[in-house]
Copies of this chain bind each other. A is one copy, B any other.
């Protein structure tokens, strides 16, 4: 069920068709459409999103005013979801970095190029329960989430403005998460992000050198070696990569060649749900607290063209290097763009393998 909000934003309810009390959608302050543009960084050949309307975004609200909880019709507070219940919802971010109606930018020059920040930022709420995590949800709910990911990916990829649909989750105050309710985000970019472009380039080089799909070859070697495997499920493998940039980094890749979520069989979708839950359970059990991380999904670009390196995978990047020490990105990482990993990937894989599986 899709609902248009009073301020023009949409909200998509999945597997939830009860009539909504319209009184809950109280008018909100109009969203400013200015202060948003893309700028081209000529030194690094990449876009930067300049977005000046977001500094006042909601910052660690108390549980009773969580904007991602269902709205209690008896209370004065209306959350971002104007309904007393839901299963999974996707809606337009109230503080977006990209929007379809972004204003055209001022004119620039060859070295100071500006473009419209035309795209979409969605919030994807996993469950109504405020203190849930992907690992604590039932397998059925996570399986449902995989279908929602696929649906959002297909819908957003079909928009003409969109070049790349990036599904991700930030979890934990340690990486700056401002809302603790279980949710992910989707950015529908008007450009293919630099990290994904780089993957395409390297995959193309691998093919030019006589290889097949680079990630197919990498996964085959991980499976054959086995010492960095963390978990497996139908159609998916989780491993700490050979040259992990970060301690406790885990990649979840399709075992066979699957360019996107849309290429998965039903059994593989179930396998993806299972392995994502398993990895999270292992993370959370490792040190006895909910592991913060960013989780990023890489798959085929929105134009649907078949590029080398289109191979569905998810990367988990936790910020801890030990149980009580964070890995910071400082001069070496930001200034030189190179990573020092203080752990051996074989050791972190062993620790995660031994950590508890999902129940």
Chain A residues proximal to chain B, CB less than 8 Å? 35, 39-52, 54-55, 59, 97, 109, 111-112, 166, 168-170, 175-177, 185, 187, 189, 193-196, 198-199, 201-203, 205-206, 214-215, 217-218, 221, 225, 241-245, 294-296, 298, 315, 317, 321-322, 325-332, 334-345, 347
Contact = CB atoms under 8 A, between A and B. Distances in A.
Contacts of A41: 241-243, 245
A52 B296 contact: no
A296 B50 contact: no
A40, A205, A225, A337: most-surrounded residue (chain B CB, <10 A): A337
Given A43-B215, A175-B328, A330-B294, A166 B336 contact: yes
Contact of A168 (B48, B187, B331, B340): B331
A40 B294 CA distance: 23
Contact of A55 (B97, B298, B322): B322
Grouping DSSP codes into helix (H, G, I), strand (E, B) and loop, the A interface class, with mixed when no group exceeds half, is: mixed
Contacts of A46: 337-338
A341 B198 contact: no
B193 A336 contact: yes
B202 A340 contact: no
A214 B43 contact: yes
Contacts of A330: 170, 175-177, 294
Contacts of A54: 340, 342
8 contacts: A41-B242, A43-B203, A45-B201, A50-B341, A55-B321, A109-B221, A176-B327, A298-B335
